Amino acid sequence: MDDLILEFLASPVMREALPPALLIAIVTASMSVMVMAHRLSFLTVGVSHASLAGLGLAVTLSLPLLPTATVFAVLIALLLALIPRKKGISEDAGTGILFAGSMALGVLLISTANSAEVDLFGLLFGNILTISPVDLKWLYFMSGLIPVLFFLAARAWWSIAFDAVTADASGLPVSSLRLLLYGLVGLTVILCVKLAGIVLTAGLMILPAACAWFWGRSLFSLWLLSVLFSLLGTITGLIWSYIYEWPSGATVVLALCALFVISWSLNWGKSWATVYKG
């Protein structure tokens, strides 16, 4: 096993993939705390699928892939934040509508494009191993920007998630902060799409915080645990994917799922033990 890990670290492909993957892990884990707190899981699913339309658009108009997809995803996320909830269209219905609509648009656009240009499998399931230098720059820029904004707004988002009315009454600009949150979730989703692909992105955006939720007691501990779970899952996943030659994105998500199941059972065992003893 040790040999394999050394071999993994020595492999040039993995050595190149590891830093961006770990960076993505930290950024997504931070945002996943807010995704859990604000119940935005379905939004991440919706936005990641909607990014297919962005990618389709980029392929058709021969625009740069990642920036176009980013702009598109952020727009979709902001649109969802503005959906008229008071008119009776709930957020999940709105997400469902945009999700299906833009996915359909994406499929149409990509099917008419020259199929040789598009690595559809890579888009759908992610491939961190084939990240280009341009993408890498883009990725570093975003993973610098998102944590800074996260640090500035985290407590405000947290108190909105806890009690939006009181947050509003204490003078916080709740609607602007919510727009910022949705926009940043959109940005983060695009980062994940590179690693885990459209279909698996939700895994990276939900699972780290979901694991942390069993153990954390405050915003800070949740964030720290979420980052640790995410890093552990990503490293384990990449090692497995190297050893067994599995697709990297799927393996990372599976590793995170395993961490979730372990957390859950340990927590269940703990509460069962307390009841039994007490």
Partner 1 sequence: MTTPVVQISHLSFGPVNKPILDNISLELEAGHFLGIVGPNGAGKSTLLNIIAGLTAPHSGHIDLFGRCLTRFSRHKLLRQIGFLHQLHDHAPRLPMRIRDVVAMGLADYATPWRRVVHSDAIREALKRVDMDHLANADFRQLSGGQRQRARLARALVRKPRLLLLDEPSAALDSVRQEKLFQLLRKLCDDTGMSVIMVEHDIAAISSHVDSVACLNRKIHHHAMKGEDIPNNVWRAMYGDHIHIMAHDARCIGCSPDEHNLPQDRQHG
CA–CA distance, 53 with 121 (Å, rounded to integer)? 15
Long-range residue pairs from 150-153, CB within 8 A, at least 24 positions apart, any chain: 150/30, 150/31, 150/34, 150/184, 153/177, 153/180, 153/181
* Least Å from the CB of residue 28 to partner 1: 20
User: Which of 60, 267 has the CB closer to partner 1?
Assistant: 267
User: Which of 48, 226 has the CB closer to partner 1?
Assistant: 226
* Least Å from the CB of residue 160 to partner 1: 9
* Least Å from the CB of residue 264 to partner 1: 15
- From the list 231, 245, 192, the residue with the least C-alpha distance to 11 is 245
Sign of CA pseudo-dihedral 120, 125, 130, 131: positive
CA–CA distance, 18 with 128 (Å, rounded to integer)? 9
Where along the sequence are the contacts to partner 1 (CB under 8 A)? 37, 151-156, 158-159, 161-163, 165-166, 168-173, 213, 216-219, 222
CA geometry: angle 78, 80, 83, nearest 5 deg: 115
User: Which of 113, 210 has the CB closer to partner 1?
Assistant: 210
CA–CA distance, 197 with 193 (Å, rounded to integer)? 4
* Least Å from the CB of residue 159 to partner 1: 5
Structure tokens of 187?
């940005």
* Least Å from the CB of residue 189 to partner 1: 22
User: Which of 9, 152 has the CB closer to partner 1?
Assistant: 152
User: Which of 133, 171 has the CB closer to partner 1?
Assistant: 171
